Structure 1
Amino acid sequence: MKKYSVLTVILAFVLILTACGQSSGNSEKNQTLTVGASAVPHAEILKKAVPLLKKKGIDLKVKVFQDYVLPNKALASKQLDANYFQHIPYLDLYNKQHNTDLVNAGKIHIEPFGIYSKKYTDVSKIKDGATVQISNNKSEQGRILLLLQSKGLVKIKTGVDPVSATLKDIDNIKHLKFLQPIDPAILPKAYEHSAADLYAINTNYALQAKLDPKEDALILEGASSPYANIIAVRKGDQNKKAIKELVNVLHSKTIQDFITKKYKGAVLPVSE
């Protein structure tokens, strides 16, 4: 009996050591962080961050989206840990319209928004009644109007917050004709056909279409824009260590230098 008791104790001890070893092994495994992103420049920037996060014990998985709606749906339904494609005015509008509670975990970059034209190379030559094609993204209307206002083409009415301004909130100085809004993803293709005089195109879609905002845009937003692109997460997750590490890496000199060198001013890094 004594012999069996000793064997039992030894066997139990071995099992405990094995369990401890397995627990230790699991704790050393890298944490997986799945982030949804637009193809350009967001996914490109994230892929550059993969090896940097690997060193911090985080396996970054990037899921590419081609629109502005599905990434937030996927985040809200916990298919993603974070997403990276939008600015705060868009996020605020999405939360309001869909009763979600997604939050900003950190500003990463600005994509200076552009107004493009195949018919005009000089803003001063734009004729009265010129046509303007904008997207159906309502959160961008104020941004577009600010650009047009910067060149004296419209004036946002006194007392209206420019960020939330709509087409109803302007004095239309040049009597611009705003065409039926279309999906932002197809604006570059519409621009190629050039049915309108002016096209307001998001920089990520402009870059995908091989447009160079600094060279091709008739009017280009400056670096002081309030429309910085952010890492968005579910409320409370902004305090998670992996999310903070992600934001810190995207603010690192390595990533900021990459953004500056690759996009040559079409995308501007933000370090706050």
Structure 2
Amino acid sequence: MNRKIMMMLVVVLMLVAAGCGNNEKQAEESKNTPTTSEETTLKVASLIPPMTEVLELVKPLLKEDGINLEIVVLSDNVQPNNALANKEVDANFFQHVPYMNQYNEANKSELVGVQPIYNAVYGAYSKTYKNIEDLPEGATIAIANDPSNIGRSLVMFEKNGLIKLKEGVGINATQADITENVKKFKFKEVDLLMLARTLDDVDLVAMTPAYAKPLNLTPKKDALITEGDDSDFVITLVARKDNVDSEPIQKLAKRMTSPEVKKFFEDNYGEIAVPAFK
């Protein structure tokens, strides 16, 4: 009887020992096995509000999708595209498609529009004059110096009767395409980020609300003219051809067109920015 009990105890001890060994082995294996719920880091380059604010808004929402959004704020309107083309970031959010196309053509890159986000109401502002009719002969008008925004500005001026352009040039217009300039306006091309600083030195400045708002100017209240509702210049989330269809980029696009973002624009930028999604 004692012998049977002893044998049973030995068997139990062996089973316990084997169980402990298996647990240790399983723990070691689980430690070395990558989890499927690891976060993906997504780097997005941007410049100024409201672009940066939209990205900050969706950052916690993307956490729920397993994506860690890293916002890279750069200092000029060339760096975000350079960083994206060189794969230093995964996307950028600061530009309209005509500007992106211009960059692609000049740099043989393959940047791709992912999702239109908002229309920024483009307008022309003056510190001296209250009505566009008051602009004197020979007045100096500041416009951005990149080709897409030169064309955008000139088309806006044509639509509002300040000049006439060569037929058919559209947003590809340059100063060489001005066929009629009755009041002999002088167009001064300056860096996009310097436009707001020229307000004291020129008679009129054409710029987006992102640059006008820090000066407490809004298109509905302060612009002498605006470009209208049929703009081709929607601020767009941009990626590369090789990653545009990736799951993280598509999740970012979905969050950036969420009800939270739409409400953000309505509550904070209702006079200057119109969501480009439903």
Task: State the partner residue of 1:201.
Answer: 207
1:65 aligns to 2:74 (yes or no): yes
Once residues 232 and 31 of structure 1 are traced to their aligned partners in structure 2, the CA distance between those partners, rounded to angstroms, is: 19
Checking the alignment, whether the CA contact within 8 Å between 1:40 and 1:207 is kept in structure 2 is no
Q: TM-score, normalised to structure 2's length?
A: 0.87
The verdict on how the C-alpha distance between 1:209 and 1:19 changes in structure 2, with shifts beyond 3 A counting, is farther
Aligned to 1:121: 130
Equivalence for 1:77: 86
User: Which residue, 211, 216, 222 being the options, matches 2:222?
Assistant: 216
* Superposition deviation, residue 37 in structure 1: 0.8
Instruction: Report the Cα distance in structure 2 between the residues aligned to 1:113 and 1:225, rounded to whole angstroms.
Output: 9
Other structure's SS at 2:33 match: helix
Inter-partner Cα distance in structure 2 for 1:21 and 1:221: 60
Q: Which runs of 5+ in 2 are unaligned?
A: 1-16
Partner of 2:102: 93
The equivalent residue for 1:104 is 113
Q: Does 1:139 align with 2:142?
A: no
CA–CA separation in structure 1 for the residues paired with 2:256 and 2:77: 21
Matches within 5 A, 1:129-208: 129-160=138-169, 162-174=170-182, 175-179=184-188, 181-191=189-199, 193=200, 195-208=201-214
CA distance in 2, matches of 1:217, 1:66: 26
Match of 2:5 in 1: none
The one-character-per-residue Cα deviations of 1:159-178 (angstroms, maximum 9, x if unpaired) are 22x12111111223332111
Alignment correspondent of 1:4: none
Structure 1 residue runs of 5 or longer lacking an equivalent are 1-6
Structure 1 residue 50 displacement after superposition: 1.2
Deviation at 1:16, TM superposition (A): 5.4
Specify the code of the residue in structure 2 equivalent to 1:23.
T
Partner of 1:29, secondary structure, is coil
Cα distance in structure 2, aligned partners of 1:20 and 1:222: 60
Tell me the alpha carbon deviations over residues 5-31 of structure 1, each in whole angstroms, 9 at most, x when there is no partner.
xx999868844553345535x321221
Give the Cα–Cα distance (whole angstroms) in 1 for the partners of residues 53 and 277 of structure 2. Answer: 18
Q: Residues of 1 paired with 2:255 and 2:222: CA distance?
A: 31
CA distance, structure 1, for counterparts of residue 116 and residue 33 of structure 2: 36
In 1, the alpha carbon distance for the partners of 2:208 and 2:194 equals: 11
| Cα drift, residue 119 of structure 1 | 2.2
Structure-2 separation of matches of 1:251 and 1:226: 19
Query: Cα RMSD between the aligned structures?
Result: 2.4
Question: CA shift at 1:94, angstroms?
Answer: 0.7
Whether the aligned pair in 2 keeps the contact of 1:155 and 1:173 (CA below 8 Å) is yes
**Per-residue displacement from partner, 1:46-66 (whole Å, max 9, x unpaired)?**
111112111111111111122
- Secondary structure of the structure 2 residue equivalent to 1:104: strand
Task: Report SS of the residue matched to 1:84.
Answer: strand
Amino acid at match of 1:228: V
Aligned to 1:18: 28
Contact 2:123 2:207 in 1 (8 A): yes
> Which of the pair has more CA radius of gyration?
2
Q: Secondary structure at the match of 1:238?
A: coil
Secondary structure of 2:51's match? helix
After superposition, the C-alpha distances for 1:168-220 in whole angstroms (9 at most, x for unaligned) are: 112233321112x22111111111x2x22111123222223433232221112
Q: Which residue number in structure 2 is paired with residue 250 of structure 1?
A: 256
Distance 2:74 2:89 in 1: 12
Contact 2:151 2:173 in 1 (8 A): yes
Q: Please name the residue that 2:11 is paired with.
A: none
| TM-score relative to the length of structure 1 | 0.88
